[in-house]
Amino acid sequence: MPNPNSIVGYALNGVFFFSGSSHYGYDAFFPKAFGTRNSPQKIDVDVCLGTADNYNTYRYHMFSPCIYDIALRGVAKDCASDAVCSRDVRNHSIANIPDQLRTQDPVGLAKDGRVIYGPYRSDGNLWQPCDVDICNGVKFSRLVYGYVSTMFHPYIVGCWGPGNRPVKRTASCSTNGRYCADAATTVPTLMASIVALTAAFFY
C-alpha cells in the first residue's frame, strides 16, 4: 500500500476501514460523474463488502456485517454473484446483522482515536442524514464525539470531526450522498404537532 492516508480506521475484526470514496475518485458503491471526472466506476467487493482491489490490502469502504462473527464470514463469493448483494449493498449490509446487535454498538476505531459505531442508533433505527455532521460523526454529549456507519456516503469517516452540519448539500462524487433537507425544521415540526394535539384535547 503506497499511502496509509487512505486508512480512516479499523474494524473490530481487524480489517481496515478506508474512506467511502475509492481510488477512482468516486463513491465506492454509487459513483457519479462530476467536474472533469466523467467515467464513474464502482469497486468490486465480496459478500462481506470487502475488497483488495488496487492496494493489495483487504479493506472495507462501508459497514460490513462480517465485522460480527456470523456465518457470512465463511462464504467465499463475489457480491455480483449474490442476488441481494448485487441488487443493493446497503440492504445486504443490514440484512445480515443479528437482531440483538441492531442498536448503538461499537464496530471499530477511527485513526484519530474515536469510536466508530454501527449503522443503528440506540432506538433501533438507522442513522439518518440530519443525525450526522459532514464528517459522519455525532456528538453524543458535550465531551463525547464519535463516528457512525451510515447507508449513505461517506459511510464511515468523511473527515476528522467534529464538523459542521450543512443542509441542502451533498457529495458531488456520489448518487447516494448525505443530504439533510433542513435539520432546523425537526423540532419546530414536532412542537407544532404537540400544540395541535393539545388544542384538540382541550378546546
Q: What is the pTM of this model?
A: 0.85
Residue 197: all three cell numbers together: 394535539
Q: Which of 181, 152, 188 is nearest to 166 (CA)?
A: 181
CA distance 4 to 75: 28
Cα distance between residue 14 and residue 8, in whole Å: 13
Q: Where are the domains of the chain?
A: 4-202
pLDDT above 80 (res 191): no
Sign of CA dihedral 189, 195, 198, 199: negative
User: Mean pLDDT throughout 137-161?
Assistant: 95
Chain centroid to CA 10: how far? 14
pLDDT band for position 196 (50/70/90)?
Answer: very low
In the chain, the largest separation of any two C-alpha atoms, in whole Å, equals 70
d(CA 92, CA 129): 20
Q: Distance between CA 61 and CA 51 in Å, rounded?
A: 8
Is the confidence at residue 24, as pLDDT, over 60? yes
The mean per-residue pLDDT over the stretch 74-90 comes to: 95
Q: How far apart are CA 94 and CA 149, in angstroms?
A: 11
pLDDT tens for 84-143 read 999 999 999 999 999 999 999 999 999 999 999 999 999 999 999 999 999 999 999 999
- 150: cell is 451510515
Q: Can you tell me which residue has the cell 468516486?
A: 26
